[in-house]
Structure 1
Amino acid sequence: MPLPILSILLIILLLLSAFFSACETGMMTINRYRLRHLTKTSRAARRVQKLLERPDRLLGAILLGNNFANITAAAIASVMAIRLWGDYGVLIASFLLTIIILIFAEVSPKTLAAIYPEKIAFRASLTLSAILRVLYPLVWIINAFSNGLLRLIGVKIRKQKHLSISPEELRTVVHEAAGRISSQHRAMLLGILDLEQVSIEDIMIPRNEIIGIDINNEWEAIKSQLASTQHTFLPVYEDDLNDMIGVLHVKDAIHIFAQHAGTKEQLRDVLMDVYFVPEGTSLATQLLNFKNNKKRFALVVDEYGDLQGLITLEDIFEEIVGEFTTDMVSETQAFIHPQQDGSLLIDGSTALRDLNPMLGLDLPMNGAKTLSGLIIEYLETIPESGTCCKINQIPMEIIQVQDNKIKTVKIVSNFTHPAGNKVR
């Protein structure tokens, strides 16, 4: 066969090798989740997905074509080299063909396919489907031997199942989609993913901050409290919060006063049953519990049944979408007070979940939930005013202690105050 014809055949074989190399990389690196989404509107995407359902058959067809092209190209190159350079031609042809295949039929097409896997896979899917159909008997025989070999070493070949994704992997996907998803939507998605890691006790209103109605108070005092409250639900108790008798929806009290002056007995009649939840429940579970029980308000108890706090459906929603009405900067300024010497006076009841991101700290949150609780847990005693300690290399001074709680703490370091001013 003349050298020009052999040269044309060699170029065609190299192009085929490049095609199969690009197909292999494009098919194997395509985003399976995006592909599943595109199958709703794209016929090419459906072809690719069908091919990927049996990756052993797909790879069998691709590698069969690729190896046939490479081996035949090597044979033709050897014939041409012997004619041109005699006995040394085989060695020369092997060296030159290795470089040519590596650059033009392997690295370049595979790199291109790795950058544009969808374009390569979609455009090649029709050709690959036809090749797989034509070569199916040969591919089946090859796969039978290769799969048999894999079974001997304990590997089972099954039809490709739908890929699952863990919450941590999904969180990474959301972070990497920063340029395609707005910051608000990204924060909401991350908030939903974090519900499983946050428990009720992390966001509940603690017992000492619960506002409720003592049914044993004077009726006029109760009416005055109802008239000025800003809450939708109020727990009702007798003398002590642990003696809870029900939960009042404020609109029910308004109906009572709209019709007549009202009495304590009428107030008792409209009380809802108390819904108790354990403090270790995750927010994701509690959100479902609120839905299943058709509740929006719950009281949190510990393992001994003692009241620890309360939580509402709105509290969980705020973990997802952020504060509804409160300006976080102004709210933070209420418990963080910069001083002239560069230190910060911080309310001891400040939640560590708020304090850490606000000041860029890394205070441990696996135990106590507030700054006061963290210091007491660290010192293993209730300190006196003036006591100093260092937690995670952060120097702290207890300024005020009241009712067995740390009221005010001074932190000495360099921070950016929530208002945006650097505290030095």
Structure 2
Amino acid sequence: MSLFQNIVIIAILIAGAGFLSLTEIALAGARKVKLKILAEAGDERAQKVLDLQANSADFFAASQIGLNAVAILGGILGEGAFRPYFLSFVSRFYSGQWAETISFSLSFTLVTSLFILFADLMPKRLAMIAPEKIAVSVINPIQIFIVICKPLAWIINAIANLLFRLFKVNTTRDDNITFDDISAVMDAGAQAGVLQKQEHHFIENVFELEERNVPSSMTTRENVIYFTLKETEDSIRQKLAEYPYSKFLVCNENIDEVIGYVDAKDILVRILNNQKINQLNESTIRTVLTIPDTLTLSELLDRFRSTKEKFAVVINEYALVVGVITLSDIMITVMGDWVTPMEEEQQIIKRDNNSWLIEGSTPIEDVMHALTIDEMPDQENYETLAGFMMYKLRKIPRPADTVIFGTYKFEVVDVDHFKIDQLLVTRLLEDKIEQIEDLGEN
């Protein structure tokens, strides 16, 4: 054959190999979620791609048969077509015993480079740009090619399956989606501008409900406002006016003797009807939902849904009340400042780009969000920033006590009766970190 005929045949082989490479990457990289959307919209080709992905052994066997056959044939033809011309060219400068080897090497390099560039690299990069679109476009011709290669592919697959069983290799594809997978998709969506910053934050918080315990979002014991059975009318009126809560605990004599709760609107109705409001009885006291402090926020949501309640008392293993929590508290955890009343005091106050004033009772998850910290040390041992300080210091903190973690310095600012009220958190500059490390070594 002439040089032109050889070039045409090699071009056809490169095009065939390129098509197989393009198809292989597109079918492997096509995402099931997008394919299902196309299939539900009525695109039959998308369903064919899903079916092929579910049983891909025949396709990959046929693809490898085609790619290897084309590469070998292209090498044979290319070597025979180009070697004489390279030999003639090399002979002008060198006519020794290595002339044949040099011309063969040049011919081999040329053909291999053409196949790598046009039959492998470029098709695969193109396939990664829009794998679903390409997979749907090529599914019909590739199914014909699979049928043609079926006999030989069956033999190859049988041998491969035998070897897999012999070495106990599990070939079942795991399509389970983890939180890390979803998180990665959300991060990509946020970077691409599909998700707004607050939407990304909401979705992350929803997934955190499974990990955060009830104490991280509850109103703590010392901040719970409650009525006793002997509460005076003036005291009840004063608490209703001072604390704009919709529900109040009712206790016998102290907070650990919970009887139930009253709804503020029931008391207001009694006031409007000129009835005494200090006579708390069965008509006004409702049964309160009692939950352990070990529940996650996700589990509490299930309890609220099953009991039709929106208010619960949290107790510890010693049957002592540690706080109360409402459905609104969980919503605030998810949506943050978007549903937090404006008049409510913020737990985290950003002073500047490198410092924050944070209350000791702030849940550690909120601190991590504010400071963009991925992980805290031994996080299972505490739930609040105050707990973190006590855990690291191994004592009851006092003002000016500090803890250095990563690039942050946590300093106790105010302590009230052993309770850490406020901390100053400062982001350390690199030179400060180096100084601290040098002091630690000395």
1:146-165 deviation digits (Å, cap 9, x = unpaired): 2222222112445x56x111
Name 2:81's counterpart in structure 1: 80
Alpha carbons of structure 1 residues 22 and 381: separation in structure 2 relative to 1, 3 Å: closer
By how many angstroms is 1:20 displaced?
A: 0.7
* Residue 240 in structure 1 maps to residue 254 in structure 2: yes
* Residue 61 in structure 1 maps to residue 62 in structure 2: yes
Contact 1:214 1:239 in 2 (8 A): yes
Structure 1 unmatched ranges of 5 or more? 416-424
Name 1:181's counterpart in structure 2: 195
By how many angstroms is 1:13 displaced?
A: 1.3
1:402-413 alignment, distance < 5 Å:
402-407=416-421
By how many angstroms is 1:414 displaced?
A: 7.1
Alpha carbons of structure 1 residues 412 and 315: separation in structure 2 relative to 1, 3 Å: closer
Return the match for 1:389 from 365, 378, 401. 401
1:11-410 alignment, distance < 5 Å:
11-41=11-41, 42-81=43-82, 93-158=107-172, 163-178=175-190, 179-226=193-240, 229-259=243-273, 261-262=275-276, 267-326=281-340, 331-332=345-346, 347-355=359-367, 357-358=369-370, 366-382=380-396, 387-392=399-404, 394=409, 396=411, 399=414, 401-407=415-421
1:1-21 deviation digits (Å, cap 9, x = unpaired): 555434322221111011111
By how many angstroms is 1:75 displaced?
A: 3.1
The one-letter code of the counterpart of 2:51 is K
Name 1:419's counterpart in structure 2: none
* Residue 8 in structure 1 maps to residue 23 in structure 2: no
1:71-128 deviation digits (Å, cap 9, x = unpaired): 2223333443477669777665433322221122112212222233233322211111
By how many angstroms is 1:221 displaced?
A: 2.9
Q: Select between 166-175 and 320-329 the one with higher mean Cα deviation.
A: 320-329
Other structure's SS at 1:177 match: helix
- Counterparts of 1:90 and 1:359, CA distance in 2: 63
Structure 2 unmatched ranges of 5 or more? 89-99, 430-442
- Counterparts of 1:289 and 1:324, CA distance in 2: 25
- Counterparts of 1:389 and 1:316, CA distance in 2: 32
- Counterparts of 1:300 and 1:64, CA distance in 2: 66
Alpha carbons of structure 1 residues 124 and 258: separation in structure 2 relative to 1, 3 Å: same
By how many angstroms is 1:45 displaced?
A: 2.1
CA RMSD, 1 decimal? 3.4
By how many angstroms is 1:383 displaced?
A: 5.3
1:385-417 deviation digits (Å, cap 9, x = unpaired): xx5322116263555x433324455667779xx
1:32-67 deviation digits (Å, cap 9, x = unpaired): 333333322233322221211112111112122222
- Counterparts of 2:322 and 2:417, CA distance in 1: 17
Alpha carbons of structure 1 residues 251 and 46: separation in structure 2 relative to 1, 3 Å: same
Give TM-score scaled by structure 1 length: 0.83
- Counterparts of 1:207 and 1:4, CA distance in 2: 89
Give TM-score scaled by structure 2 length: 0.80
Alpha carbons of structure 1 residues 412 and 79: separation in structure 2 relative to 1, 3 Å: closer
- Counterparts of 1:152 and 1:376, CA distance in 2: 56
- Counterparts of 1:80 and 1:414, CA distance in 2: 68
Alpha carbons of structure 1 residues 266 and 331: separation in structure 2 relative to 1, 3 Å: closer
Other structure's SS at 2:345 match: helix
Report sequence identity in percent: 25
Other structure's SS at 2:249 match: strand
By how many angstroms is 1:260 displaced?
A: 5.2
